[in-house]
Structure 1
Amino acid sequence: MSDTTTALKPRAKVATERPKLWKVILLNDDFTPREFVVGVLMGVFRMTESEALGVMLTAHRRGACVVAVFTKEVAEEKCAQGNEAGRQAGYPLAFTTEREE
């Protein structure tokens, strides 16, 4: 046999980074009925009625409320679905996204 030895290089560990998260924010307006907002929150964000009512009331009192936190693509899709539901019903219902710090 041969007297040569083979030294293996250590493999660099690849650290997978968690995806950046984005907040979906409900903006308050004075025209969209509360019941409609609760219905959208239940349908799009899969909230219970009491959770949706709490989010809606927080947005009503403070002007805005974080609805949920998702990856960027999911947050943008949920935001678009909520805005489209309001637009189709003729209400100025508005959701927006913001990167979580």
Structure 2
Amino acid sequence: MSDQGARNFDSEVVEKSDQRLKEPEMYKVVLHNDHYTTMEFVVEILMVVFHKEVPDATRIMLDVHKKGRGVVGVYTWDVASTRATRVHRIAKEREFPLRCTVEPA
């Protein structure tokens, strides 16, 4: 058997790294009120895209309607931006100007 592929582990230096894993940054997904998007459509979006039950979807929709905006949830960047993009795509298909933003939590 040949020693050509064998490594000499005695001469290798292994450095200890002090890397620590940290929790990912979180982002709020926010729906914004407008004068054209129906309340029913907002509830539908909350149920389909964000998997909210009817009572939670209705509460968030009323926040959007009465306060001008409503926080839908807090997610990692990838999840938040994907869901916001999906909201915009569905709203555009249904011809609603519903705005959905992603903000640092």
**Are residue 99 (structure 1) and residue 104 (structure 2) matched?**
yes
**Which runs of no fewer than 5 residues in structure 2 stay unpaired?**
1-13
The equivalent of 2:45 in structure 1 is 40
The number of equivalent residue pairs is: 93
Give the number of the structure whose alpha-carbon radius of gyration is greater: 2
**CA distance, structure 2, for counterparts of residue 56 and residue 33 of structure 1:** 10
Equivalent of 1:26 in 31, 40, 50? 31
**CA distance, structure 2, for counterparts of residue 77 and residue 29 of structure 1:** 22
TM-score, structure 2 normalization:
0.82
Q: Shift in Å at residue 11 of structure 1? A: 4.0
The equivalent of 1:68 in structure 2 is 73
TM-score, structure 1 normalization:
0.85
**Are residue 87 (structure 1) and residue 92 (structure 2) matched?**
yes
Q: Shift in Å at residue 12 of structure 1? A: 4.4
**CA distance, structure 2, for counterparts of residue 12 and residue 81 of structure 1:** 40
SS at match of 1:61: helix
Deviations 1:31-50 (A, max 9, x none): 11111110011000000011
SS at match of 1:65: strand
